[in-house]
């Protein structure tokens, strides 16, 4: 008699990598279910709609690496996802200059700093000797100050902080070594009708493979279980079975599931947790091997934040795709370069030292903020602000009134107007305080060694009986396109494929 809760393979997490894993297994006749802690599907793909019907992507927005991204063609062929390449005109804006003239030549200097990071920092630093992007900028400026104008010295480093809005961490913490190794291929296409459209296309593939006619049947038929938080995983060595324990987030009921193979797609920020009282944390018995634990300690999670400001009409320049608002010059850095004053750089991977007091009103011109002009990309009167930590955490804990108090001077500055209307709606992300993401994606902090972590998780031979029955997938378990949707998707395809091969071999 088959046991009620037995499945050949169990997948933890219904983000893109969980769904893709299920597709690969189902296609190859492997019985599987997905267990998801949240009450919704999609994980870090999450589209909401405003009252006026505008789709807003709280998670991913772009198909990155368009030269090599396998999802782009797939989606294009399907024909229901709308794209906009938002790589047209972009303005650099400062408090002092408004829109900065190209004559200041900040971009060529920032390009040279990038070349310095790529050429020098990759070779110079190891995870043990690594420095922050801010410190690497200082090294560059010290060497090249005789070639720079005063304004370049002051503002070009602030332009290099563009990386903050790509990764989601402050340049005080960003690793110069990892940033310079972070490779990207081709253009980036912004999805304008909701990234969830792509996820839903994947769900459609899955429900058809399962013999259903709509997504809801995946849930009704128990192919995907929602609201079930996995808190413990054990292994019965005699029976060669993995036991998975879940707590229902609504009824609090505990359930036990059994499987032969396990695919774990939870974010590494959650996998790292060792305080099992924390929501989402999973206790492994026997524990995860020491090597994996040690490698998980060498990765961090960043905190990219998004803020959508919806207005009645567009009142900002509408020929520009992006507005990059630079922070005001870093006086400590400039002084150290010009007058040789002493400057210290943090080597501390822990970000708690520079948090913003939630009761304060931070100066908006101290932070880098990138505004995407959705009036151009999606023909809606919305500005989407990308922000990095520590601002992300501040915004997450602030009322809409405080959020607007922060952004108003920046929006006024990009629009070139003294008085501007207030937004009709404000929506912002809360990924840092969400227990099932605990940040945005795998980061690149000083001293991190993400490749070593990927290797240890992909090998993961010594978990349980050493036969590779546990596979890790997701955006943090890939060297190709780490942090990205297509990276998560590709890792799932590969790792689920390994389970299929194993099962096929065992049938011979
Ligand atoms: C603000 C933001 C912007 C981004 N922008 C882009 C972009 O433009 N382009 C791009 O390519 N990528 C972007 N990304 C990254 C992209 O969203 C992710 O790489 C991708 O969605 C990750 O998919 P995943 O399946 O690996 O993880 P997830 O989507 O996080 O799925 C993991 C699932 O596991 C569940 N889970 C966690 N713990 C448990 C537990 N204990 N029990 C059961 N279930 C659990 C979670 O609820 C979640 O549903 C962005 C991410 C963020 C947050």
Digit-coded pLDDT (tens) for 160-214: 999 999 999 999 999 998 887 777 899 999 999 999 999 999 999 999 999 999 9
The yes-or-no answer to whether 6-65+72-80+192-298+448-507 and 88-186+305-342+356-428 have a common fold is: no
pLDDT at 4: 63
CA of 131 to the centre of ligand 1 (A): 28
| Ligand 1 atom showing the smallest separation from residue 62 Cα | 8
| 282 in Cβ contact with 234 (< 8 Å) | no
What mean pLDDT, rounded, does the chain reach? 95
Taking only the tens place, the pLDDT of each residue in 479-508 is 999 999 999 999 999 999 999 999 998 877
DSSP 121: I
The verdict on the CB of residue 37 being under 6 Å from ligand 1 is: yes
> Distance between CA 105 and CA 109 in Å, rounded?
7
Question: How far is ligand 1, taken at its centre, from the CA of residue 242, in Å?
Answer: 25
Condensed to tens digits (0 to 9), the pLDDT of residues 44-64 reads 999 999 999 999 999 999 999
Q: Is 166 in the pocket of ligand 1 (CB under 6 A)?
A: no
What confidence score (pLDDT) does residue 354 get?
A: 83
Taking the C-alpha atoms of residue 204 and residue 37, their distance in angstroms, rounded to an integer, is 21
Q: What pLDDT is recorded for position 179?
A: 86
- Answer yes or no: is the C-beta of 443 below 6 A from any ligand 1 atom: no
Is residue 306 lining ligand 1, measured as CB closer than 6 Å? yes
Residues 328-353 have a mean pLDDT of: 89
- The whole-angstrom separation of Cα 248 and Cα 276 is 16
Domain ranges of the chain: 6-65+72-80+192-298+448-507, 88-186+305-342+356-428
Q: How far is the CA of 43 from the centre of ligand 1 (A)?
A: 5
- Return the DSSP state at 305: E
Mutate to test the pocket of ligand 1, among 24, 247, 266 (most ligand atoms within 8 A of CB): 266
- Is residue 100 in contact with ligand 1, taking CB distance under 6 Å? no
Q: Is 280 in the pocket of ligand 1 (CB under 6 A)?
A: yes
Kindly tell me if the per-residue pLDDT of 427 is higher than 70. yes
- Name the residue of 60, 166, 255, 493 to mutate for ligand 1: max ligand atoms within 8 A of Cβ: 60
Instruction: Output Rg (C-alpha) for the chain, integer angstroms.
Output: 24
Whether 304 is in the pocket of ligand 1, judged by its Cβ within 6 Å, is yes
CATH class of the region 6-65+72-80+192-298+448-507: alpha beta
CATH fold group of domain 88-186+305-342+356-428? Polyamine Oxidase; Chain A, domain 2 (3.90.660)
How far is the centre of ligand 1, averaged over its atoms, from the C-alpha of 365 (Å)? 30
CA angle 120, 125, 129 (to 5 degrees): 145
Q: Which range is least confidently modeled, 121-135, 225-239, 296-310?
A: 121-135
Q: 6-21, pLDDT tens digit by residue?
A: 999 999 999 999 999 9
For residue 233, the cross-strand partners are: 244, 284
Given ligand 1 and candidates 11, 15, 18, which is best to mutate, with the most ligand atoms within 8 Å of its CB?
A: 15
Q: Is ligand 1 within 6 A of the CB of residue 439? A: no
For ligand 1, is residue 396 a contact (CB within 6 Å)?
A: no
Nearest-atom number in ligand 1 for the CA of 58 is 1
Q: Which atom of ligand 1 is nearest to the CA of 231?
A: 41
- Predicted pLDDT at 123: 84
Q: Spell out the residues 6+ positions from residue 391 whose beta carbon is closer than 8 angstroms to its own.
A: 305, 356, 362, 367, 369
* CB contact at 8 A, 87 and 221: no
Residue 431 CA: which ligand 1 atom is closest? 53
């Amino acid at each position: 008699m088959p046991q009620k809760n037995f499945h050949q393979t169990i997948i933890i997490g219904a983000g893109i990598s969980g769904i893709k894993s299920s597709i690969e297994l189902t296609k190859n006749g492997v019985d599987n279910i997905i267990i998801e802690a949240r009450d919704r599907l999609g994980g870090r793909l999450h589209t909401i709609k405003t009252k006026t019907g505008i789709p807003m992507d709280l998670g991913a927005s772009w198909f990155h690496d368009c030269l090599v991204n396998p999802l782009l063609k797939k989606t294009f062929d399907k024909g229901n996802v709308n794209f906009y390449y938002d790589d047209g005109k972009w303005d650099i804006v400062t408090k002092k200059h408004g829109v900065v003239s190209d004559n200041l030549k900040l971009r060529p200097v920032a390009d040279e700093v990038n070349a310095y990071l790529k050429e020098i920092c990759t070779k110079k630093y190891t995870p043990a000797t690594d420095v922050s992007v801010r410190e690497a900028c200082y090294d560059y400026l010290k060497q090249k100050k005789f070639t720079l104008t005063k304004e370049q010295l002051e503002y070009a480093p602030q332009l290099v902080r563009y990386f903050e809005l790509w990764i989601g961490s402050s340049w005080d913490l960003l690793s110069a070594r990892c940033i310079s190794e972070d490779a990207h291929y081709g253009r980036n296409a912004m999805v304008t009708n909701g990234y969830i459209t792509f996820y839903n296309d994947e769900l459609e593939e899955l429900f058809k493979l399962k013999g259903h006619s709509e997504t809801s049947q995946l849930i009704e038929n128990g192919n995907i279980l929602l609201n079930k938080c996995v808190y413990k995983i054990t292994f019965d060595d005699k029976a060669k079975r993995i036991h998975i324990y879940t707590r229902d987030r609504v009824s609090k009921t505990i359930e036990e599931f059994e499987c032969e193979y396990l695919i774990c797609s939870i974010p590494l920020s959650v996998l790292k947790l060792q305080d099992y009282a924390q929501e989402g944390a999973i206790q492994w018995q026997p524990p995860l091997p020491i090597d994996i634990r040690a490698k998980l300690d060498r990765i961090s999670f960043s905190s990219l934040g998004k803020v959508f400001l919806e207005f009645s009409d567009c009142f900002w320049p509408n020929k520009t795709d992006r507005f990059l608002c630079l922070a005001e010059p870093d006086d400590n850095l400039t002084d150290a370069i010009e007058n040789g004053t002493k400057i210290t750089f943090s080597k501390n991977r822990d970000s708690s030292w520079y948090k913003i007091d939630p009761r304060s009103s931070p100066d908006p011109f101290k932070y880098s903020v990138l505004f995407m002009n959705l009036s151009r990309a999606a023909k809606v009167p919305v500005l989407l602000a990308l922000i990095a930590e520590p601002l992300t955490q501040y915004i997450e804990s602030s009322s809409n009134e405080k959020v607007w108090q922060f952004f108003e001077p920046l929006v006024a500055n990009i629009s070139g107007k003294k008085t501007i209307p207030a937004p009709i709606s404000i929506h912002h992300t809360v990924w840092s305080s969400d227990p099932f993401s605990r940040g945005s994606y795998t980061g690149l902090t000083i001293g991190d060694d993400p490749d070593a972590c990927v290797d240890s998780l992909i090998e993961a031979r010594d978990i349980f009986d050493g036969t590779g029955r546990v596979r890790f997938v997701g955006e943090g378990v890939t060297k190709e396109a780490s942090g990205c949707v297509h990276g998560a998707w590709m890792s799932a395809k590969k790792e689920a494929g390994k389970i299929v091969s194993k099962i096929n071999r065992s049938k011979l």
